[in-house]
Structure 1
Amino acid sequence: MTNTDITVKKLSGLDHLRSLAILMVLFYHYRMFQHPQWLDNIMGFGWTGVDLFFVLSGYLISYPLFVNMASGKNISLPEFFIKRFFRIIPAYLVVLTIYFLFPAFHEREALPPLWKFLTFTQNFNFDIKNYGTFSHVWSLCVEEHFYLLFPLVLVTLLHFKVWRKAGFLLPALFILGIGIRLYCWYALIAPHTEQDNFWVIWYRHMYYPTYTRLDGLLAGVSIAALFAFKPAVKAWIIKRGNVILLLSLLVLTGAWFLCNEQESFYASIFGYPLVAAGYGLMVIAAVSPTGILYRYNSRVTALIAKLSFALYLSHKGVIHLVQPLLAQTGIAPKGNLMLVLCLLMAVLGAFILNRAVEAPFLRLRQRILNKRKAITHKNVALLTKDSAA
C-alpha cells in the first residue's frame, strides 16, 4: 500500500477497519438479492462502508508521500504508479473480462459500455436503472482519479517549492465539495423531486460523481498530513485512542440520523463530510497504540482485509450465481442459512482471485521495484565514483 521508501507499518487496527468496510458493503449489497427481512432493518447505513474505504485509501496513500516530503525527499512518480497499477489493474481486468464474456455473471440488467470501464469514467452520468451490472466499481473510478491527480499535485507543489504554504488546500477542497453538491442539488436534482425516477437522477448527480465524493479521501489525506507534518500533535492524539474511538462512534451516530433519508437535502450536502469525519476519527483510533483497535490482533480480520479488494470486485456476480443453485437444494432463498452460505462462497471466490491473480502480480511488482532500486543504487555508485575521480 505504500508508494515511497517510507513504509506504513502494517497495523492490526487498519485490518479491522478494512474488514468492517467490506463486510458493510457485502451486507448492504446482499439486499439486492433475496434476503432476510432483518437485513433491511439494520443495514441502511451500510453504504458508508465505501466511505470508510475512501478514508483508509486517503490515509495510506498520502502518509508515506508526506513523510518523504517532510524529510526533504522527492516523490517517485514511476514507483507510485507501478505500485498502484499492479495492485489494482490485473484483478480488475480479470473480473471485468468475466463480466463481458459470461452474461450469467451479470447480477442486474446490462453493462455500461466497455470503454467506460477501461477509462474509469463509469461513475459519470451513470444510469443505475438500466446499466446496474458491475455498478459497484464506481468507487474504484473515484479512487483511480485520486491516484492519478494527487501525486501530480504534490510533485507540482514540490517543484515550485510552495508545499509548505499549501495547507489551505485541504479545507478549501472540503468547502468546494459542499459548494459543488449545493449546485448539483439545486440545478440538477431539485427540479426532478416529483418524478418517479428521482432516485436515478440523485444517484447520477450526487452519489456517483468523483467531484461530489471526495470527502472521505480528503479526510484520510488530512490525517496523514497532520501526522507527518505535526509530530507533536500526533503524539498527543495517539495517546487517546479509545477516547477518539468513542468520539468517532458518536459522530457516526449523528451521521446515521442525518442520513436516515439518504436522498434528502441535508444528507446530500452535509452527510458525506460528517461520515468522513466519523471514519477519520476511527482511523486515528486504529493507529493509536493506546487503543483497543491497535492492540487487538485477529487472524480473521487480517484474512478478510487481505481479500477485501477481490471481494469487492467479485461478490455480486458470485452471489448472483450461487444463490439460485443453493435454492435448488431446498435452502430457503430468504433464510439466514442462505445468507451465510452465499457470503462464504463470495469469500471463496475472492480467495481464488487473490491466489490466482493478485498474489502473482504483487510478486511481479516487487521484482520490478527491486530491479529499479538496484539500477538506481548502481547509478548512484557510478556517479559517486566519477565525482571522486
Structure 2
Amino acid sequence: MHPSPTSNPSPTSSSPLPSRLSSPPRSPGLDLLRAVAIGVVMLYHLSSYGMNVPGPGQHGWMGVDLFFVLSGYLIAWPVLRDLAVGRTPDWVGFVVGRAWRILPAYLAVLGLYVVLPAWREGDAMPPVWQFFTFTMNVLPDHVAQRAYSHAWSLCVEEHFYLLFPLVAGLLARRGRMPGVVAMAAGAVLLFGTGMLLRDWQWRHAVGPHLAPGGDAARAVAGYVRSIYSPTWARLDGLLAGVLLAALRAFRPAWWTRVLSRGWLLLGAGLALLVAATRIDPIGHGGAVFLYPLVALGCACLLVGALSPRTPLGRQALPGARTLALLSFSLYLTHRQVYAWLGDVAADLTAQAPAAAFVLFNGASLAVATLLYVAVERPGLRLRARLRSAVAQPLPETHEDEAPLAR
C-alpha cells in the first residue's frame, strides 16, 4: 500500500524468509500516522471518563478517517501495481490474507465481550450474527447497543476488502485499466454521490429533530444510524487512499513530484484538519462536506509522511513503531479496558486525573500487548508460513502490522 519509501516488512515470520519472499524496509512515516491515529481515537474515547484532552477529546474521531485513508492506499497499492504492469493479482490470496489479518484478534475480542459482559462499555451489544456478517454498521443501534460498537469501522473496511478487488478485477477484464484522470473522475463521482446521500439522509433522519421543539437525542441517533456508520456514507477516506495508490501505480513520475512537496502537503493537511474542527458534524454542512474535507486533509498528511523531503519520511520517532504494531489490538480492546477501569477507579479519575490517565492507557497497552503476542502475531506468522509454502511473494505493504484499527 505504499511507495518504496513506504513499504515495510512482515514481522510475522519466525525465521528469515527467502529473498524473493522478503519485503522492503518499514516506513517511519506510516508508523507515525498509525500511532497518531490510534492515539487520538483513544483520547477521544477517554473523554467519556472525565479525562478530556483538548483537541482529541472532541475531534479524535478523525483518527478513524486517517485509518481509512491508510487502508485505501495500502490495500490498493499492490493490486494496482500489478494491474499497471499487466500482471493478474492473486485475488484468492488477497481475500484469504485479509481474513487471516483481521479475524483472529477480532473474534478473540468478540469472545471476551460475549463471556465477560461485566467488562463491556455498555450493557447491551448488537446480535452476534451481525459481528460475524460485518453488518452491525448497516443496522446500528448505538444508543441501546453500545458494547463493541466501535467495530462499525471494521465493517466498513471488510466491505472495502470485498468490493475493491471486484471493481478492480472487472476493470482489468476490459483489457486496459482506466488512466489516473479517468479514475479521479470516477472517484469525484463517488465523492459527489456520497455527499448527495448524506444530504438526503440528513434532511430525513437528522434535520427534522434539530428544529425548534425537536428531540436532540433522536437527531444524534439518526445521524449515527444514517450518516456516521453506514459504509456507503463513509467511503471518502478509502477513496482518497485508493487515488493516491493509483497515482503511484499509473503515474510514477507524477507521484515523485507530489512526494517532493512533502512540507507543503503536511501544512495543507494540518490546515484542512484544523478547519474541519470548526464544523459541526451533525449540522447540515458537516454531514455533507466534513468527511471529504477530513479525507483530503488525511491524504495530504499521508503524502507528507511518505515524502523523503520531510523528517517524518526519513526518521523513526521513538515509540511510534510499537504503537503502530499494537494499533489494531489497541483499537479492539481499549474501550473494554476503559469501561472496567471506569467502574473500579472512578475516584482516582476525579481526584488524580493525571494518574488515572497513566493507569487507563498503561492498562490498555498491557492488554493490547497480550492480545498481539497471544493471538495477532501467531496468526500473522502462520499466514507468512502459508505464503512461503506456496511461494507467494509478500506484498509491499504496511498493513501486516495493523489494519485499520481502524
If the length of structure 1 is used for normalisation, what is the TM-score?
0.90
Q: Which runs of 5+ in 1 are unaligned?
A: 376-389
Moved more, 161-170 or 216-225: 161-170
Instruction: State the partner residue of 2:222.
Output: 201
Q: Is the 8 A contact 2:237 2:295 kept in 1?
A: yes
The one-letter amino acid of 1:15's match is D
Helix, strand or coil: the match of 1:211? Answer: helix
Cα offset, 1:44, TM superposition? 1.1
Moved more, 301-310 or 166-175: 166-175
Cα offset, 1:228, TM superposition? 1.2
Q: Is the 8 A contact 1:50 1:139 kept in 2?
A: yes
- 2:238 matched to 1:217? yes
Deviations 1:63-112 (A, max 9, x none): 11111111111111111012111110000000000101111121113111
State which of 210, 219, 226 in structure 1 corresponds to 2:247: 226
Which one has the bigger helix percentage? 1
Equivalent-residue separation in structure 2 for 1:111 and 1:182 (angstroms): 29
Cα offset, 1:6, TM superposition? 10
Cα offset, 1:185, TM superposition? 1.4
Equivalent-residue separation in structure 2 for 1:195 and 1:351 (angstroms): 42
Instruction: State the partner residue of 1:51.
Output: 65
Equivalent-residue separation in structure 2 for 1:22 and 1:369 (angstroms): 29
Deviations 1:162-190 (A, max 9, x none): 42255232221111111111121123322
Helix, strand or coil: the match of 1:122? Answer: coil
Helix, strand or coil: the match of 2:48? Answer: coil
The one-letter amino acid of 2:332's match is L
Instruction: State the partner residue of 1:21.
Output: 37
Q: Is the 8 A contact 2:119 2:340 kept in 1?
A: yes
- After superposition, residues 243-282 of structure 1 pair within 5 angstroms as 243-258=264-279, 261-282=280-301
Q: Which runs of 5+ in 2 are unaligned?
A: 2-6, 11-20, 394-406
Instruction: State the partner residue of 1:159.
Output: 173
- 2:79 matched to 1:65? yes
Equivalent-residue separation in structure 2 for 1:237 and 1:255 (angstroms): 23
State which of 346, 351, 355 in structure 1 corresponds to 2:373: 355
Moved more, 12-21 or 234-243: 234-243
Q: Is the 8 A contact 1:8 1:64 kept in 2?
A: no
Cα offset, 1:327, TM superposition? 4.9
Relative distance call for 1:7 and 1:70 in structure 2 (3 A) is: farther
Relative distance call for 1:333 and 1:67 in structure 2 (3 A) is: farther
- 2:187 matched to 1:187? no
Q: Is the 8 A contact 1:240 1:291 kept in 2?
A: no
In the comparison of the two structures, how many residue pairs are matched? Answer: 370
State which of 59, 75, 79 in structure 1 corresponds to 2:93: 79
Instruction: State the partner residue of 1:311.
Output: 330
Instruction: State the partner residue of 1:380.
Output: none
Instruction: State the partner residue of 1:289.
Output: 308
State which of 379, 384, 404 in structure 2 corresponds to 1:366: 384
Cα offset, 1:147, TM superposition? 0.4
If the length of structure 2 is used for normalisation, what is the TM-score?
0.86
Deviations 1:36-86 (A, max 9, x none): 3x4366521111000000000000000111111111111111110121111
State which of 144, 147, 150 in structure 2 corresponds to 1:136: 150
Helix, strand or coil: the match of 2:165? Answer: helix
Cα offset, 1:9, TM superposition? 5.1
Q: Is the 8 A contact 1:15 1:301 kept in 2?
A: yes
Instruction: State the partner residue of 2:193.
Output: 176
Q: Is the 8 A contact 1:244 1:282 kept in 2?
A: yes
Equivalent-residue separation in structure 1 for 2:350 and 2:222 (angstroms): 35
Q: Is the 8 A contact 1:323 1:333 kept in 2?
A: no
Equivalent-residue separation in structure 1 for 2:55 and 2:31 (angstroms): 27
The one-letter amino acid of 1:180's match is L
Moved more, 66-75 or 39-48: 39-48
Equivalent-residue separation in structure 2 for 1:216 and 1:42 (angstroms): 19
Q: What percentage of residue pairs aligned between the two structures are identical? A: 38
Relative distance call for 1:242 and 1:177 in structure 2 (3 A) is: same
Deviations 1:184-235 (A, max 9, x none): 1123322332224211111111111111100000010011111111111111
Instruction: State the partner residue of 1:345.
Output: 363
Helix, strand or coil: the match of 1:43? Answer: helix
Name which structure has the greater RCO, CA cutoff 8 Å, separation 6+.
Answer: 2
Instruction: State the partner residue of 2:113.
Output: 99
Relative distance call for 1:191 and 1:236 in structure 2 (3 A) is: same
Equivalent-residue separation in structure 2 for 1:6 and 1:235 (angstroms): 24
Cα offset, 1:299, TM superposition? 3.7
Q: Is the 8 A contact 1:24 1:47 kept in 2?
A: yes
The one-letter amino acid of 1:308's match is S
Helix, strand or coil: the match of 1:298? Answer: coil
Cα RMSD after superposing both structures? 2.2
State which of 4, 11, 27 in structure 2 corresponds to 1:11: 27
The one-letter amino acid of 1:217's match is L
Equivalent-residue separation in structure 1 for 2:307 and 2:378 (angstroms): 33
Structure 1 or 2, whichever has the larger Rg, is: 1
Equivalent-residue separation in structure 1 for 2:241 and 2:105 (angstroms): 25
